[in-house]
Amino acid sequence: GEDVEQSLFLSVREGDSSVINCTYTDSSSTYLYWYKQEPGAGLQLLTYIFSNMDMKQDQRLTVLLNKKDKHLSLRIADTQTGDSAIYFCAETNIHGGATNKLIFGTGTLLAVQP
């Protein structure tokens, strides 16, 4: 079945760039997502990329997709302490336009040191 994997933990210093990586197995994934979860809160949709794209940039966030290697990354520029959270990678395979279920990774805990 489909699987999404992430490293469990990343520690960076404030002001540095963070890169969170994700690999997936479903070669027919159509959308790939990054979600952010702060303590005690729900998952917040940060950004997504369609599978025919290589890169998407949104302010401090850059998503890179290597479809050949089934590798997705999220780069956060100028990381702030407020970026400390768990980041989930997820993928879906949309059939016939219907929103299908997401397959989530285990999440990466990003700790930003002041």
Partner 1 sequence: DARVTQTPRDKVTEMGQEVTMRCQPILGHNTVFWYRQTMMQGLELLAYFRNRAPLDDSGMPKDRFSAEMPDATLATLKIQPSEPRDSAVYFCASGFDGVGQYFGPGTRLTVL
Rule CB under 8 A: which residues touch partner 1?
Answer: 31, 33, 35, 41-45, 48, 88, 97-99, 101-102, 104, 106-107
**C-beta closer to partner 1: residue 24 or 33:** 33
Burial 20-35 (b: 16+ CB within 10 A, else e): bbbbbebeebebbbbb
Give which of 97, 88, 87, 75 is closest to 30, Cα–Cα: 97
**C-beta closer to partner 1: residue 14 or 48:** 48
Provide, rounded to whole angstroms, the least separation between the CB of residue 53 and partner 1: 13
